[in-house]
Structures are given as structure tokens and as C-alpha cells.
Amino acid sequence: MSLTYQDLELPIYRNTREIIHFNIEKKGEAQRCTLTLSDLVLAAELAGLNMLFISDTGRGKTQLVSDIYTAHFGGKGNWMVGRKDASVLDLFERTSADLTTGKFDSETARTLHEKRVAYLLNVADELNRAPGPVQADFFDLADGKYAFRGERALLGKEGYSLFLATMNLNKAGDNGFSGTFDVDRALYNRSHLTIDLDHSDFRPTAEDKLYIRSHAMDPRVKHAEKKDISAEILQAFHTIRTRSREPSLDAQIFAFLVDESLDYCEKDALKHEKQGSWPMACLDCPHSANICSSVKSSSERTVESIALLAQGLQYLAELKYGPVSISSFDAFLEAFRFTTYHGNLNDIAIGEKYAGRRQILMDETVHNLREIVTSIKPFMSKERLNTRLIECTIPERGSMTIEYQQDLLRSIEQKKIPHKVLDLPTILKEKGIGTNWIQSIKK
């Protein structure tokens, strides 16, 4: 049976806040479509991407995860609560003695719990309530692997293993976060999406709150009726993964834009690389208004997550609106907005200019990146990567951008018309974007 949008409806948690807006083409007509916070979570779930939900208490993080656990996977999953005595070993290993002989061999008595290894969903609720060594055990859940007797068992099946985690955090006085224990940075890196439910743009709408309050007055986490649609989720996952392995030229270019291109630094006279000087070197840099000062390059893991989420958003939009076509750049920009988070943004700017609100800087970065993408669209085909343009202001006709011609340039120069010759490398460098990848795309 094919998956439908109604199949994915969360039974209790509700968040219809519109956070993603796409220009789509449906039946040959241009339309506008929106996806909600819940839609984003569903798209990431179908793409098999790990998610970390953070907020103050009472924002519904655990309810959201519980709905997915119960209504999508039938309550079949590995659920751990962050405590000092939490143990991943207890999930995946069991010990049995041979009662016929009365002998006990500690080595052979330990066996792998195959049923739990095969579960598609792994949850770590309130993970920052667990100390560092216990958090390190959660790495296995996030990586979709478990080490047993020197070998690594793959969690889940058919390449799908979903890790969901929550952090019940209180805002500290410095606009940061505080919890019982600090969270290992490696766990942040293993969370493909980090969603701050305290962010005003991500909170449930007033209508959502009225709906939730009218259905129950019990403040505890509520348990929905069990429903298992994991087979349909696996089918969607394989479709999304196949699509992500066949990237368009737009997708390839975007991957380079957020990868090594964001390591470019005009201020570095030696190699034009940020390296250890970022973001301190941005403080008095004449190029600090460029995107290079806001964000650094994404890791290869993040680039892969962006590609998967972009296809997940496309797939979810198709379930919601029917056959639609979304611009690859639009899908990748929105995916970048939610997958590039911890460690990639300028922490100094976050503290000094944005009062600790990371998502605001992320949204501004996406806005700037969208403008860059728009400015290079005239070059976005292999045939036009070498194109040159002339940008000029003609008194009678105003500002113009026209195809480069030697005779035209000579005429403009003779008439002393203000102008600029543009090509793809020039435009990108002016915006703080590296260009070493362009030759690879041209081949």
C-alpha cells in the first residue's frame, strides 16, 4: 500500500505553523505551497534523518516523539530516558545461563537481542539528563550501529535507522541553554536536524493550542492508539534515497556553494581559507557584511543530509498537494536552513548581534544565500558556466545587465558609461564565496 499524507497525521501533537514556502508548478500552473513544522518533521522522518528537539519544558517535544513512536512504528522501538544509570547495553544484549549443565560462561552467555537491533526507531528522551559517559553510549543509536564482540551490528533494516532525541533545557541568563549535563558536541553533529521549539516561528499556532486544550486537560504525555506504517515509510525512504543519488546540476552546484566555498576568506592572503582564524578574523574585516562572516562550510555528512532532506521535502509536498515540481534550489535552501546549525554559525555574532538566537542568524544566512543563488542563475547550465555579462547604467534606459560582446564593451568604454564585467567567479568572490569547484562542474 502506498503512503498517504493522512497516514502520517500525528494523533495528538499538533503544530501547523507554516515555516516553509515554495513556489511550485502544478499542472503547468505556478502556485504557492506551504509546509508546516509538523511537515518538516515528517519529511525528515521519511528521509531517515536524525532529529534533536530542544526547548524549555512543556513545549511538546516528548509528545511529538511519542506520537511518531506509537502511530508510525506501532510502539516498536528502542526508547531510552536520559538517566545516570541508562545503558544501551541493556537494550541490545541479554545474558542467559545453560540450566542443563549448571555452567555459566560469561562470553557465550551474552547474546545480541536481534529483535531490538532490527527496530527502525531509537529514542533518547531528555538526553542531557544523562552524564557524559552515558551520552557517549547514545552515539551508537545515532549512528545506527552497535558494537558487539568486536563487530558492528547495523540497527534497523534496509539502511533505515531513525534516531530522535529531546533536550529539556532551561534558558540561562546569558541567553544560552542549561541542563543537568552538557551535551557532547559529537551528538549535535549526529543530529541531522536540530529544531529549537522555543523559536517563535516554530511554536504551535493559537489555533493549535486551542485544539490541544480542547481535547485533553491532562498535562502528562498522552499515548495514542498503536499503528504501524513502517513498511510504507521504508518504501518512501528508498524512493527519497534513490532521488538524492541522481542530483541535478542545480543540486551539484548548491552542494559546492555550502561545502568548500564557504571556507573562502578574502582576508587570508596566503590560501584564502578560514581555518582557525574564523570567526575572530571577521571582527574588523572589511568583508564582514558578506555571507563568509556568518557561516562556515558544511561537513560532507551535512551536505548529504541537505540532499536527503531536500528530496524529503519534495516527497512530502507531493503527498500533500499531489504531483508538483519544486525548484531544486528552493528545496536545497530550505534543507540547508534546518540541517546547518551547531558549530557552523558565527558564535560571536550570535552573542553580540542576535542575543543568542541562532535560528535568526540561520534565517538571515539563508536569505543571503538565496540572493546569491538568484544572482548566478544566468550561469546555471553547463553551456553558460563561462558566460560573461556587462552590468551598466545607461542614462536613457537605466540599469541593465546584458550579454558580453567585445564591440559592445568597447562602445560602452568610449562613451564612459559606468559598467562592470561579470562572470561567475567574480560574482561569487564579491559575495564571500569560493570558486575552486567551478572547473570540476564544467567537465
Helix (H), strand (E) at residue 394 = strand 388-394
CA distances from 22 to 15, 195, 225, 429 (A): 19, 20, 33, 28
191/276 same-domain check: no
What's the CA gap between 192 and 403, in Å, rounded? 41
The domain tally of the chain equals 2
pLDDT at 283: 72
Contact 183, 54 (CB under 8 A): no
34/155 same-domain check: yes
The residue whose grid cell reads 563561462 is: 386
187/285 same-domain check: no
163/68 same-domain check: yes
Phi then psi for 98, rounded to 5 degrees?
-85, 100
159/215 same-domain check: yes
Q: What is the dihedral of CA 349, 251, 374, 194, to 10 degrees?
A: -30
Cis peptide before 247 (omega within 30 of 0): no
C-alpha cell at 160: 533505515
pLDDT at 262: 86
- Domain assignment of residue 205, given as a range: 6-242
Residue 437 within a domain = yes
Per DSSP, the three-state class of 292 is helix
Contact 166, 61 (CB under 8 A): yes
39/85 same-domain check: yes
From the list 193, 304, 160, the residue with the least C-alpha distance to 244 is 304
Going by their DSSP bridges, the two strands 398-403 and 110-112 should be labelled as: unpaired
What's the CA gap between 411 and 390, in Å, rounded? 12
Phi-psi region of 286 (alpha: psi -120 to 50; beta: other; left: phi over 0): alpha
224/100 same-domain check: yes
Where among 208, 242, 276 does a domain terminate? 242
Helices (H), 183-327: 185-190, 206-215, 230-244, 249-258, 300-321
Residue 371 within a domain = no
The DSSP annotation for 250-298 comes to HHHHHHHHHTGGGGB-TT-TTT-B-GGGTTGGGTT-TTTTSGGGTB-PP
Residue 387 within a domain = yes
Contact 261, 402 (CB under 8 A): no
What's the CA gap between 90 and 85, in Å, rounded? 10
From the list 128, 167, 172, 200, the residue with the least C-alpha distance to 359 is 200
Residue 356 within a domain = no
Residue 317 within a domain = no
204/287 same-domain check: no
- Which residues lie across from 422 on neighbouring strands? 389
Per DSSP, the three-state class of 218 is coil
From the list 122, 28, 113, the residue with the least C-alpha distance to 73 is 122
Residue 370 within a domain = no
C-alpha cell at 389: 555579462
Helix (H), strand (E) at residue 163 = strand 162-168
218/275 same-domain check: no
| CATH number reported for the structural domain that contains residue 14 in this entry | 3.40.50.300
Helix axis angle, 300-321 to 249-258, nearest 10°: 140
C-alpha cell at 122: 531509537
Residue 56 within a domain = yes
175/86 same-domain check: yes
pLDDT at 270: 53
Annotate 47-64 with b (16+ C-beta within 10 A) or e (fewer): bbbbbbbbbeeebbbbbb
Residue 350 within a domain = no
- Per-residue model confidence as pLDDT tens for the chain (443 residues): 589 999 999 999 999 999 999 887 777 777 888 999 999 999 999 999 999 998 888 788 999 999 999 999 999 999 988 888 787 777 887 776 555 655 655 566 677 888 899 999 999 998 888 777 778 778 888 899 988 877 888 999 999 999 999 987 765 544 444 556 777 677 777 889 989 898 888 999 999 988 877 766 566 667 778 999 999 999 999 999 999 998 888 888 888 888 878 888 877 665 566 766 678 877 778 877 788 888 888 888 889 999 999 999 999 999 999 988 888 889 999 999 998 765 688 888 888 888 878 888 888 988 999 999 888 888 888 788 889 999 998 877 888 888 999 999 999 999 899 999 999 999 998 888 888 888 888 76
210/136 same-domain check: yes
From the list 422, 359, 356, the residue with the least C-alpha distance to 37 is 359
51/193 same-domain check: yes
